[in-house]
Amino acid sequence: TADSAACFIATIQPSGIISFHLPDTRADRLLRIDLGSDWNLSCSFNADMTAEYVLEISRARDIRMLPTLSTRSAPIYTVVLPPQDVEWNGELGVWFETDWGRERSIIVKGTKEGSFASFHTDIVVGDELLFIDDKSVNDLSFDEAMKYLKARLESVGEIRCNQAIKPLQRMRKTIRGTQYADNIISSSGILSLTLMTLEERLRRLRRS
């Protein structure tokens, strides 16, 4: 769409040439081409510079005609902790509960506002927790799964903290020629949570 400050200049028929006047302004004067409602506006080009311009104009799409899309990329997805590109305080920020009538199903009840889960993951209310690392929650009671998840979060958080406060020790060991292996996160230092989206859960319920 055009900027709110844009002014209509003229309507020109295909292959037509007409003269027109541009508004007097001290700012750069830019033009955009509008071919009608079926097309998007062209990019802007300088109106005060004589040149030949090649403009790419794409056909507009009516969003009412778009098919319904899932906002999440896959029906089953994985959250890996600790994250590599953002700060993390060791907290996931998710509340779980058992699905009514299905004792072994663990469902997301809510996410804590401002938490890692709410800002940096696709976790939403209604998603189902399937695996903690490679351990299926179907093999655990709800209490066992929550205790295991809490213990893994604490373990991963401690490893992340230790790695953050020992950069100088790592440097000294490297300088002395000592092989330093703990700068590589071991498998116990990575927590992966596998979840099924609410949309996929509902699709499977409708099929059953």
Q: Which residue has the higher pLDDT, 128 or 34?
A: 128
Enter the tokens of residue 174: 């490297």
Per the DSSP assignment, residues forming a β-bridge with 76 are: 196
34 φ, ψ (degrees, to nearest 5): -120, 115
* Confidence label for 189 from pLDDT (cuts 50, 70 and 90): confident
In the numeric block, the tokens 């506006």 are attached to 41
Mean pLDDT value of segment 37-54:
82
Report d(CA 23, CA 154) in Å as an integer.
65
What is the amino acid identity at position 66?
A: L
* Confidence label for 171 from pLDDT (cuts 50, 70 and 90): very low
Q: Which residue has the higher pLDDT, 16 or 22?
A: 16
For residue range 129-162, what is the model confidence (pLDDT) as tens digits?
A: 999 999 999 999 999 999 999 999 999 988 766 6
* Report for 30-34, 71-75, 167-171, 181-185: range of highest mean pLDDT: 30-34
Query: CA nearest 134: which of 182, 94, 84, 187?
Result: 187
In the numeric block, the tokens 């066992």 are attached to 144
CB neighbourhood size of 135 (10 A)? 14
Report d(CA 55, CA 197) in Å as an integer.
42
Average pLDDT in the chain: 77
* Residues 111 and 104 sit within 8 Å (Cβ to Cβ): no
For residue range 70-82, what is the model confidence (pLDDT) as tens digits?
A: 556 789 999 999 8
Bond into 82 cis (ω within 30):
yes
* Residues 98 and 74 sit within 8 Å (Cβ to Cβ): no
For residue range 94-133, what is the model confidence (pLDDT) as tens digits?
A: 999 998 666 579 999 999 988 999 888 989 999 999 999 9
* Confidence label for 12 from pLDDT (cuts 50, 70 and 90): confident
